[in-house]
Amino acid sequence: MRIKEAPYRAIADGNRRMILDLLRKEGSLRAGDIVARLSHISQPAVSKHLRILREARLVQAQPDGRERRYQLNATALRQVAEWLQHYEPLWDERLATLKQLAEKNAGETGASA
């Protein structure tokens, strides 16, 4: 996997996004802490997800005795955020269209009542 693609591929998986959200909310955690909070994911799967997130530079690992503590590297998400900004006008346009349709529908419903 190329370095530029790594963050996008890493966040494509829902379990990895859950791990990122957990680290954002709770700060630095050990793999065992993550497994305990996300009980639907096995310990080997969490380790695999953490490896992928590390390789994508979305998390950093700090030694903590025999274990590692993982923390979110939010600066790596900046690349993704900058790319997504190009789509904001499209979303705004679609939301405006949806609002117009909802208002029109509400007006038609209210007029017939």
Q: What is the pLDDT of residue 87?
A: 85
pLDDT band for position 88 (cuts 50, 70, 90): confident
What burial letters (b/e) apply to 51-67, b meaning 16+ CB within 10 Å? ebbbebbbbbbeeeeee
Topology annotation, domain 6-80: Arc Repressor Mutant, subunit A (1.10.10)
What single string gives the DSSP state of each residue in 41-54?
S-HHHHHHHHHHHH
Instruction: Between 4 and 5, name the one with better pLDDT.
Output: 5
**Edge to edge, what strands does the sheet with 59-64 contain?**
29-30, 67-72, 59-64
Span 15-71, pLDDT tens digits: 999 999 999 999 999 999 999 999 999 999 999 999 999 999 999 999 999 999 999
Instruction: Between 99 and 54, name the one with better pLDDT.
Output: 54
Judging by beta carbons within 10 Å of its beta carbon (0-12, 13-18, 19+), is residue 25 exposed, middle or buried? Answer: exposed
Residue 89 — φ and ψ, nearest 5°?
-60, -35
Q: What is the pLDDT of residue 104?
A: 87
Q: What mean pLDDT is predicted for residues 71-90?
A: 86
Instruction: Between 5 and 38, name the one with better pLDDT.
Output: 38
